[in-house]
Each structure stands twice: as structure tokens, then as C-alpha cells.
């Protein structure tokens, strides 16, 4: 059994929650389909988006330098960080130079990737998540289980109980509107009193040196409205050539991810307001090496919309915490393998190879095909499952000639007559609770065919 199916046991045990999770995410996928139907040129847009990303990646160094030049001319300060440690140190350096301990932050998967929040907390900096879903997860002391819908695995009653404890809301009230507005009130002072604001970045436009930040809640923009230091962090693959490219990506991002025509706010930060500072940190943390991997460099085309998770039958039925990497689903399986095949190869089993993810990706990333490719690479990486390797060797022998093959079938028919307890136990890799071994047909197709012919 793969590490993914082991970890999924807890999630799967709660049948009601599983069914809800599955339906809720598929509903988002269906919203995406309805949005797609309103854009006749949808497939051409996806192709253009994919080609734009490929072009940018093939000139990434040039575009990063162009972005730096223009952003600097606009009055921003640009920093480069080779890895997670350097990102964290750079942020800490900026905070120390600026002063203050209160940081309000909007959603950033990069900060999760680099462990920024715990790093800052260890240094006495309170980094408050301001996206509602992220805030729920922060108060629960749990990581997000989806990159766009962080609290998708949390039920309203659990949020009600959490807010009753943390924010003093009415006992037993789990109405989403009531709870959302309670969070709004509770977070107001965190925005107003913050010394520093931090945001992720969806797109960094090289030609204008502008940062595009997309949110629905307006939390990123509210955060940057009061604090006089804005730290924006982004992976180097987030740079795009120009505004024309921004037009293409903003048509696809929210339609694919949440089934909205566009996010409520697509904010462009170009020049810091008078007396304010914007510091941009460009983070590599493995990306430049992944780009050198011809088989898997496509992963860097990702817009982080989450569509591949919403559509994935395995993700929907196993939840985000069943994966060993902090990003789950088809995207996370692939990124985890790039990060460390040794630590995360258990996730490659969490795929039925239905390729639905590849079909919905707005950058046309071949996510499913790459998972298949990773499985082929397991042996050369020395990570192939020994039992499976042995079985394949056995199959190779059995299927090596007709006598062996038919002999094995005859044996199988005998095995089918064995008592259930001998077949359905932990020694049989095909056996699992709730799944009965299928009975063998009374005779093989070949035998039946021959008998018919004789008639």
C-alpha cells in the first residue's frame, strides 16, 4: 500500500466528510466548465497561455533582469534569494531594518514552501494570515489542504467552534455569513495596526515593473493600505513579459480555478506611494534546476489556479493531507517529486492516470503524463517498489509463452476456489477492505471460443 493510501485512511474513514469534499470540489470544477463555455476561444487561449509561459521560461534570466530594471526605476527595491533560507533571512533583515513586530500577510504558497511564518514566529514576529481560509487554518494550527481553497476540508461547525473559542462568537452559530463577518471584525485591527504587510504575487510584469496580485477578499490591498513597508515575495517563474500576457492570464486564472470570470481584485502595484516602500524578493529555491529537467520543466508554467486539484478524482476523495508534499493533488505530486523524489515518491500512486488534470490546466501542463513519466523513472531513481518489481518479473516469466500462461490461468482458477480468508487478507496486494476478489470465469475466453467453433 502506498504512503498516500496509508495517509488517506483517516480522511476516508469519515464517509460523510469524504462525500461532501468530493461534491464541493466537483461543483467548483463544474463552475469552471460553465465559465469555459462562455469563452468561444477557450482552447486557443489555453494554447496561447502555454506558449507564453514556454517563451518566458526560455528567456527567464532576461525577463527577470528586465523586471528588476523597471521595478527599480519605479522606486521598488528588488532582492534575489537562492533558496528558502535566503528568503527568510532577507525578510527578517527587512523587518529588523524597518522595525516593528506585527506583520499582516496575504496568501502565499511560497511562504508555506519556505517555512517563513514559523521562522518569523521564532523571532518574535507575529505573522497574521488575513485570507479567511488561511486564517482559519492558522487558528487551527493546520496547514492549508488546497492551494486556493485552504479550508476546504473544514466543516462549518468546526469553524463555528473555533471562532467561539478564538473570537468569542455565539455558541453553536455556524452560519458562514455570521462567521465571515466576525472574522472581518476581528481582523480589522490586525490590518490597521500592522507595521509591515506581506503579499504573494501572481504575475510580475517585466515590461512595466508592476506586480499583479489577485484576491477575492481584498485582504492583500487592505494590508498594503496602512503599513508603510510592503514585502512582496514570488518564485522566479512568476515573471511574465508584458501587459498583453497579463490580459491572457487574467482571462484564464479565475475561470479555471474558482469558476469566476475574474478575481474580485486584480491589483497592480507599480510605484510605492509617497513615503512608502515596496521590497520585492525573487526566489529560486530549486526552480532554476527544475528548468534544466527537460522531462519536467513544464511544471514551471503553472499559474497556481488549483483546477487540477478540483478535478482530480483521487484528491477529491482523499483530501490534501494524504499527500506528503505541502501542495497536494496532481500539481503537488509533480512538484514534490521535483523537490525530493526520495521523500515524496509515495504520492505518484495517488493517480488513476485519467489525465483530467491535463485537460483542465490553463497552461496546458501535461500533469498526468508527467506523473506517468515519474513512475517510469522510479526504477532508475532506485525507488521502485520491490514487491511490484518482483511481481513484474513473475509476470514476465508467466507471459513468456502460451504453456506457462495457460498453466497460470488454470492455477488461478484453482486459487479462486480457495476459502475467502485465504484470498482476502493482507498478503494479497489486490485485496482491500470493502473489496471482494472477483471470481474467475468458469472457462477462459479462448477455451469458450474453441468450443463455439467446433459446434
Partner 1 sequence: MNSKEEILKRLAADGMPESPYPEMDFVPQRFEAREAVFAERLEAAGGRAVRMQPGETLDGVIRRCYPEARRIASTLPGVTLATVDPDAVEDPRELVDVDLGVVRGSFGVAENGAVWIAQDIRHKALYFGATALMIVIPQDALVDTMHEAVVRPEVDDFGYGCFMSGPSKTADIEQALVFGAHGPMSVTVVLRGEN
Q: Are 310 and 25 in contact (CB under 8 A)?
A: yes
CA dihedral 69, 75, 79, 80 (to 10 degrees): -20
Q: What dihedral do alpha carbons 53, 148, 64, 60 form, nearest 10°?
A: -30
Least separation, in Å, of the C-beta of 105 and partner 1? Answer: 13
Q: Which of residues 268-307 bind partner 1 (CB under 8 A)?
A: 268-273, 282, 284, 288-289, 291-292, 294, 297
Nearest distance from C-beta of residue 225 to partner 1, angstroms? 4
From 3, 26, 80, 378, residue interacting with partner 1 (rule: CB under 8 A): 80
How near is the Cβ of 448 to partner 1 at its closest, in Å? 51
Strand runs (DSSP E) across 164-253, as ranges?
196-199, 203-205, 210-215, 229-235, 239-240
* Minimal distance, residue 305 CB to partner 1, in Å: 15
DSSP-derived secondary structure for 327-375: S-HHHHHHHHHHH-HHHHGGGGGS-----HHHHH-TT---HHHHHHHHH
Looking at residues 362 to 391 of the shown chain, list those that interact with partner 1 (rule: CB under 8 A).
Answer: none
Least Cβ distance, residue 312 to partner 1 (angstroms): 17
- Name residues contacting partner 1, limited to 114-133 (CB under 8 A): 130-133
**Which residue, 208 or 349, is less far from partner 1 as judged by CB?**
208
Cell readout for 324 is 506528503
Cβ proximity to partner 1: between 272 and 362 the closer is: 272
Of 392, 400, 332, the closest CA to residue 147 belongs to 332
- Kindly state the cell numbers that stand for 78: 528588488
Return the SS3 of 197: strand
Measured CA to CA, the distance from residue 227 to residue 223 in angstroms comes to 7
Distance CA(56)–CA(67), nearest Å, equals 12
User: Given its phi and psi angles, is residue 382 left (phi above 0), alpha (psi -120 to 50 degrees) or beta?
Assistant: left
Q: How far is CA 291 from CA 288, 341, 397, in A?
A: 5, 16, 40
Q: How far is the CB of 278 from partner 1 (least distance, A)?
A: 10
Residues facing 432 on adjacent strands: 435
CA atoms of 79 and 29, how far apart (whole Å): 37
Contact between 247 and partner 1 by CB under 8 A: the answer reads yes
Cell of 263: 478575481
Size of the site for partner 1 (CB under 8 A): 89
- In the bound state with partner 1, the residue whose beta carbon lies nearer, of 218 and 313, is 218
Q: Which residues in the 317-356 window bind partner 1 by CB under 8 A?
A: none
- Of the candidate spans 45-53, 338-346, 409-417, 431-439, the one that interacts with partner 1 by CB under 8 A turns out to be 45-53
Determine which residue in the list 3, 22, 26, 86 makes contact with partner 1, applying CB under 8 A: 86
Which phi and psi (to 5°) does residue 366 adopt?
-85, 65
Q: Cβ closer to partner 1: 165 or 188? A: 188
Residue among 241, 320, 330, 332 that touches partner 1 (CB under 8 A) = 241
- Of 36-44, 315-323, 348-356, 396-404, which segment contacts partner 1 by CB under 8 A? 36-44
One of 4, 11, 18, 28 touching partner 1 (CB under 8 A): 28
CA 315 to chain centre: 10
The single residue among 2, 5, 266, 431 that binds partner 1, judged by CB under 8 A, is 266
CA gap 300, 295 in Å, rounded? 12
Among 260, 377, 431, 444, binds partner 1 (CB under 8 A): 260
Please pick, from the candidates 3, 22, 115, 265, the single residue that binds partner 1 as defined by CB under 8 A. 265
Nearest-approach distance from CB 8 to partner 1, in angstroms:
21
Residues 170-229 that bind partner 1 (CB under 8 A): 176-177, 179-181, 183-184, 187-188, 191-192, 216-219, 221-222, 224-226
SS3 140: helix
Shortest reach from residue 245's CB to partner 1, in Å: 9
In whole angstroms, the minimum distance from the beta carbon of 427 to partner 1 comes to: 42
- To the nearest 10 degrees (0 to 180), the angle between helices 42-58 and 243-257 is 120
Check binding of 248 to partner 1 (CB under 8 A).
yes
Q: Do strands 203-205 and 277-283 pair parallel, antiparallel, or not at all (unpaired)?
A: unpaired
| Interacting span for partner 1 (CB under 8 A) from 93-101, 154-162, 339-347, 385-393 | 154-162
Identity of the residue, 258 or 356, whose beta carbon is nearer to partner 1 in the bound complex = 258
**Is 15 an interacting residue with respect to partner 1 (CB under 8 A)?**
no
Residue 106: CB minimum distance to partner 1, A: 10
Take residue 343 and report the three cell numbers written for it: 521523500
Amino acid at each position: 500500500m502506498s504512503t498516500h493510501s496509508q495517509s488517506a485512511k483517516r480522511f476516508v474513514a469519515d464517509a460523510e466528510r469524504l462525500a461532501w469534499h468530493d461534491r464541493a470540489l466537483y461543483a467548483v470544477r463544474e463552475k469552471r466548465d460553465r465559465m469555459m463555455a462562455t469563452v468561444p476561444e477557450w482552447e486557443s487561449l489555453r494554447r496561447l497561455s502555454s506558449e507564453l509561459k514556454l517563451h518566458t521560461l526560455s528567456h527567464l534570466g532576461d525577463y527577470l533582469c528586465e523586471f528588476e530594471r523597471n521595478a527599480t526605476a519605479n522606486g521598488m527595491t528588488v532582492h534575489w534569494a537562492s533558496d528558502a533560507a535566503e528568503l527568510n533571512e532577507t525578510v527578517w533583515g527587512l523587518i529588523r531594518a524597518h522595525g516593528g513586530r506585527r506583520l499582516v500577510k496575504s496568501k502565499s504558497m511560497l511562504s508555506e514552501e519556505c517555512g517563513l511564518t514559523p521562522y518569523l514566529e521564532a523571532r518574535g514576529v507575529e505573522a497574521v494570515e488575513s485570507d479567511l481560509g488561511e486564517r482559519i487554518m492558522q487558528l487551527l494550527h493546520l496547514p492549508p489542504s488546497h492551494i486556493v481553497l485552504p479550508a476546504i476540508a473544514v466543516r462549518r461547525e468546526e469553524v463555528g467552534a473555533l471562532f467561539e473559542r478564538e473570537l468569542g462568537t455565539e455558541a453553536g452559530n455556524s452560519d458562514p455569513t455570521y462567521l465571515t463577518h466576525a472574522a472581518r471584525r476581528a481582523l480589522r485591527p490586525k490590518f490597521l495596526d500592522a507595521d509591515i504587510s506581506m503579499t504573494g504575487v501572481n504575475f510580475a510584469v517585466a515590461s512595466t515593473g508592476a506586480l499583479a496580485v489577485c484576491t477575492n477578499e481584498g485582504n492583500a490591498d487592505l494590508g498594503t493600505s496602512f503599513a508603510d513597508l510592503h514585502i512582496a515575495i514570488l518564485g522566479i517563474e512568476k515573471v511574465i513579459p508584458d501587459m498583453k500576457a497579463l490580459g491572457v492570464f487574467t482571462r484564464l486564472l479565475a475561470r479555471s480555478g474558482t469558476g469566476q470570470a475574474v478575481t474580485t481584485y486584480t491589483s497592480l502595484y507599480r510605484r510605492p506611494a509617497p513615503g512608502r516602500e515596496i521590497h520585492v524578493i525573487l526566489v529560486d529555491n530549486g526552480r532554476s534546476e527544475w528548468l534544466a529537467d527537460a522531462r519536467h520543466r513544464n511544471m514551471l508554467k503553472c499559474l497556481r489556479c488549483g483546477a487540477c486539484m478540483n478535478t482530480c478524482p483521487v484528491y477529491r476523495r482523499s483530501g490534501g493531507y494524504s499527500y506528503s508534499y505541502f501542495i497536494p493533488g496532481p500539481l503537488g505530486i509533480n512538484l514534490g517529486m521535483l523537490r525530493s523524489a526520495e521523500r515524496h515518491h509515495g504520492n505518484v500512486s495517488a493517480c488513476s492516470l485519467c489525465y483530467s488534470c491535463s485537460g483542465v490546466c490553463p497552461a496546458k501542463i501535461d500533469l498526468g503524463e508527467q506523473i506517468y513519466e515519474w513512475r517510469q523513472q522510479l526504477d532508475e531513481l532506485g525507488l521502485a517498489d520491490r514487491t511490484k518489481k518482483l511481481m513484474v518479473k513473475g509476470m514476465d516469466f508467466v507471459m513468456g509463452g502460451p504453456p506457462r500462461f495457460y498453466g497460470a490461468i488454470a492455477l488461478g482458477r484453482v486459487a479462486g476456489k480457495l476459502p475467502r480468508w485465504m484470498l482476502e487478507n493482507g498478503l494479497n496486494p489486490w485485496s482491500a477492505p470493502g473489496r471482494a476478489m472477483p471470481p474467475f470465469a468458469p472457462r477462459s475466453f479462448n477455451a469458450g471460443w474453441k468450443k463455439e467453433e467446433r459446434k
